[in-house]
């Protein structure tokens, strides 16, 4: 679990309108729009899960349908190109105080708490998550995938700097959205991969992994046509 400065735990810091290239301000995908507006029952039905989480067979089927929660080496390179072309948060490396490769390694290597029907709640590596998993998030956690919140404490704040390209702490809640979200910034009930829990606790359903996440989608913006057509996927192993 990664440490997180308590500096951000007391306030929401608004983004200026000039941050037009930030991922958080891009049009929302159909997948995220559905997750934000769906009831908990609809979420469970769509992702073949329940309060008890996925069983072993469902995990394997979800991994076959949606892939693993990793970016291939080619996709990581494409993400760097997307950032350099202004198609994402250009301040990412400065904000993180490290390089992108190191950050992505930490993201998939971090441990998260998952509920699966065969074994109850247990810690697993983020790379092993699949869509439909039920995860628990606590202060200090890095969010391992895009997660639709189904329970949240009143003090839940997420630092979204990695997506906004600047300091951005947003209050999150678990209620379904009544109005359609135009951008990811409107999705106050979605915890996006790569963001960090500044305070509070939550529980939610994984709705996107790997390149299907908001952060991972930036790799497709910078990918060459051959890379977008499909590449063998591998866990992050970059020196």
* pLDDT value of residue 156: 98
pLDDT at 104: 63
Pairing of strands 134-138, 201-208: antiparallel
> Is the Cβ–Cβ distance between 76 and 234 less than 8 Å?
no
Give pLDDT tens digits for 22-44.
778 888 889 999 999 999 999 99
pLDDT value for 3:
33
What are the strands, taking DSSP E only, across the chain?
111-116, 120-125, 134-138, 146-152, 157-159, 169-171, 190-191, 196-199, 201-208
Lowest pLDDT segment from 64-73, 125-134, 184-193: 64-73
What is the structure's pLDDT at 238?
23
Global confidence as pTM: 0.78
What mean pLDDT is predicted for residues 58-80? Answer: 83
Q: Can you tell me the distance from the alpha carbon of 165 to that of 23, in angstroms, rounded to the nearest whole number?
A: 8
Is CATH 2.60.40.420 correct for 24-224? no
Domain ranges of the chain: 24-224
Interstrand relation of 190-191 and 134-138 (parallel, antiparallel or unpaired): unpaired
Residue 127 neighbours by CB distance under 10 Å: 17
């Amino acid at each position: 679990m990664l440490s997180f400065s308590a500096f951000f735990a007391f306030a929401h810091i608004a983004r200026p309108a000039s941050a037009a290239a930030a991922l958080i301000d891009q049009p929302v995908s159909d997948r995220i729009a559905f997750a934000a507006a769906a009831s908990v029952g609809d979420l469970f039905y769509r992702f073949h899960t329940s309060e008890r989480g996925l069983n072993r067979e469902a995990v394997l089927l979800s991994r076959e349908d949606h892939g693993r929660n990793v970016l291939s080496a080619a996709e990581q390179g494409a993400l760097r190109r997307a950032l350099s072309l202004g198609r994402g948060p250009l301040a990412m490396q400065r904000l993180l105080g490290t390089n992108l490769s190191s950050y992505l390694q930490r993201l998939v290597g971090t441990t998260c708490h998952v509920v699966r029907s065969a074994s109850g709640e247990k810690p697993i590596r983020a790379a092993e998550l699949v869509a439909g998993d039920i995860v628990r998030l606590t202060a200090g956690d890095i969010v391992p995938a895009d997660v639709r919140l189904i329970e949240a404490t009143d003090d839940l704040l997420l630092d979204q700097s990695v997506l906004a390209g600047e300091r951005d702490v947003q209050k999150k809640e678990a209620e379904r959205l009544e109005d359609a979200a135009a951008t990811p910034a409107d999705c106050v009930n979605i915890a996006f991969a790569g963001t960090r829990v500044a305070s509070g606790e939550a529980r939610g359903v994984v709705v996107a992994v790997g390149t299907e996440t908001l952060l991972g989608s930036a790799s497709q913006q910078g990918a060459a046509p051959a890379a977008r057509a499909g590449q063998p996927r591998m866990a992050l192993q970059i020196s």
